[in-house]
Amino acid sequence: MYDIIILGAGPAGLTAGLYAGRSKLKTLIIEKNIPGGQIATTAFVDNYPGSIEDATGMGLSDRMYEQAKEYCEFLTTEVTSVELKGKVKKVHTEDGKTLEAKVIIISTGASHRKLEVPGEKEFLNMGVSYCATCDGPFYSGLDIFVVGGGDSALEEAIYLTKFGKSVTIIHRRDEFRASQLVVDKAKANEKIKFELDSVVTEIKGDKETSSLIVENVKTGEKKELKSDDNSPIGVFIFVGYIPQTEMFKDQVEMNYGYIVTDSDMKTNIEGVFAIGDNREKSVRQMVNAAGDGCIAAVIANRYLEGQVW
């Protein structure tokens, strides 16, 4: 029996693990992929306090993982279902295990939103990617197209200029959701071009991606974007995230798929907390994901001592 099982090893889960483990609580973190969550595949994290040297997402998440590992157990597997009600919570995994804990902290994060256009699935890893850090180097010297207008799209577009001959940002409006600082940086970059008020309607190619069909949402005009010399192209899609909360939907209170918590990260179920990008809140940044993790672990400790709920 664990005191706490944490579902997900992004910045929120790793911070919760660090705090729980340092409070001498028997803590297990379960993660189906590599630790770090979205950060692990983010090029640079410039806005996490103290993240100056080796500010790569991978570097930072590795250090968070190494630190948490000092204090809690890790298990790499996929959780298939959970039983959250009652004093003893149960976690069932794909390899047939059932693990028990007094507290569950849900930090399953969010997954990449898809464009849902023809060619997106077919050319995944053959020109279509959701991770610049992972796949950017494959497109060295080629034309790259980035879809989206948020911080992710613009920051990753800037990063991709290290590799691409050109980087074209395709965005459905003519204003950006990204912060002004990042917009200005992208606009000042000579390699970056913009295709605004435009949506991608199809991704085309043979064995590799060779072109995109975009439609101007104001004029309805369609055109094909490709390289001048018919080389393969890279298409990087950054159009937001979807909370990974499907598994909890009949047990925990949610709003549009995001788990509802109070300011102590408590859900409507006793002994169950939610932290990070899967909970309802207005700002989703790494720094407040880590803050959520700290709060949940501290309050969980108080709960286990019989002080709160």
Q: Which residues are part of the catalytic machinery?
A: 131, 134-135
10 Å Cβ neighbour count for 50? 7
Minimum distance between the CB of residue 269 and ligand NAP, rounded to whole angstroms?
27
Name the closest residue to ligand NAP (Cβ): 150
Nearer to ligand NAP, 23 or 278 (CB): 278
Whichever of 47 and 81 has its CB closer to ligand NAP, that residue is 47
Give least dist CB 109 to ligand NAP, A. Answer: 11
Minimum CB distance to ligand NAP, residue 116 (Å): 7
Angle of the 286-304 helix axis to the 11-22 helix axis, nearest 10: 30
Gyration radius from the chain CA atoms: 21
- Distance CA(181)–CA(169), nearest Å, equals 16
Q: Could you tell me the smallest distance in angstroms from the CB atom of residue 46 to ligand NAP?
A: 6
Binding residues (CB under 6 A) for ligand NAP: these are: 45, 47, 113, 115, 147-153, 155, 172-173, 177, 199, 238-241, 284-285
For ligand NAP, the closer of residues 12 and 239 by Cβ is 239
Spatial neighbors of 63 by CB under 8 A, at least 6 apart, are: none
Judged by CB, which is closer to ligand NAP: 47, or 98? 47
* Beta carbon nearer to ligand NAP, 169 or 269: 169
Cα three-residue angle 39-44-48, rounded to 5 degrees: 70
- What the block records as the tokens of 224 is 């094909």
Specify the amino acid at residue 33: N
For the CB of residue 44, give the shortest distance to ligand NAP in the complex, in Å. Answer: 8
- Cβ–Cβ contacts within 10 Å for residue 174, how many? 12
Write down the least CB distance from residue 182 to ligand NAP, Å. 8
- 111: its two tokens: 């997954």
CB distance 282 to 256 below 8 Å: no
Complex with ligand NAP: residue 13 or 149, whichever CB lies closer:
149
